[in-house]
Amino acid sequence: MLPPWVLLCLLLVGTVEPAGATLIRVPLRRVHPGHRILSPLNGWGPPTDPPRTRIAGDTPTFVPLSKFMNTQYFGDIGLGTPPQNFTVVFDTGSSNLWVPSMRCHFLSLPCWFHHRFNPKASSSFRPNGTKFAIQYGTGRLNGILSQDKLTIGGIHGASVIFGEALWEPSLVFVFAHFDGILGLGFPSLAVGGVQPPLDAMVVQGLLEKPIFSFYLNRDSEDSDGGELVLGGSDPAHYIPPLTFIPVTIPAYWQVHMESVKVGTGLSLCAQGCDAILDTGTSLITGPSEEIRALNKAIGGFPFLYGQYFIQCSRIPELPPVSFNLGGVWFNLTGQEYVIKILKNYADLCLLGFQALDIPKPEGPLWILGDVFLGSYVAVFDRGDKNTGPRVGLARAQPRTARPAGKRAAQAQFLRGRPG
């Protein structure tokens, strides 16, 4: 286990139409807990060019996930021919793909602790050379754009524009358990107006529908992190029905939230508010005044960077925290929203609610990160000419409740309105 100061540093840094198609599964692993390594919004900054038109397209794939300490999940991809392997965070809060480069600056320490892309080792590499820069809340990086083939799950040979990171001056990237980021947000978030990887796979006919879903395994006794499913969803991952909530602004996966309740007493977001479903954020964040009231009602005490702690022994008596989305209440128990990260040092647990004030015009916003998405499977559907973009939510199916050794043979596609 890393020392506490390193952990705290990383705290700053998811009617159906069945079809007999093979889903693309990407395995996920867990990374260190806490707030996203990226700045929770503006992680990639505004695009320099107008957003590209989305082309909707119907075939899924499964990508297994891995985990560390039940938060920040990541998985593996390949870039180039033959594929060079990288571990990336699959991030619904951004839309670019980047990895460290073999050509990174000698003094860029994170490059020496992670896999680096070597363009000379790939027969399919195509130079681009356009410079890019990303500013995060806790760090930054810059580099050049390049073009090569992406391998992810069962998908091979997708031609993508990605970033080669040449300079990563931030210490937080040194300790990260992943090499780079693969963004799954909308095209309007992409730096340089480049085509996001999901769009590229759909346009090139490698993925039939711009739909994907996350199952995040939060069982602390199980090393498996869950799965990213590209092209649809696996019904074995959740307990029906799915509740669909329309995306209000197609940039982040942003939806309207009716209200938030703590037990039977405190009500927040009383007049309705906006929320983002973000796999790149480990905790649930919200405006500081409301998060302060929420954590006070639970009995937590403040620490650094808008985070709150509580005695682990109090978990069984904690009240539920409930979120009203699409007219349905999504409840989290104390066991689900408390994270045990300092158990080797003290009987202290991290509460899964962090204060974060996002200024206008984007904010104020709530961010429903992995603490929420670990309990509820999220199906992210870009939509088509008949259906606008939306997110489907359903209670995650406990692994012990699934048939042993069996996977769902049918892909679930989300076209048409739910019955």
Active-site residues, by number, are 91, 278
Residue 75 has φ and ψ, to the nearest 5°, of -150, -170
187 HSE (CA, 13 A, CB side) = 18
Taking alpha carbons only, the member of 30, 76, 401, 26 closest to residue 222 is 30
Chain-centroid distance, C-alpha 370: 7
CB 224 within 8 A of CB 61: no
Beta-carbon contacts of residue 322 (< 8 Å; ≥ 6 apart): 260, 261, 262, 329, 330, 331, 332
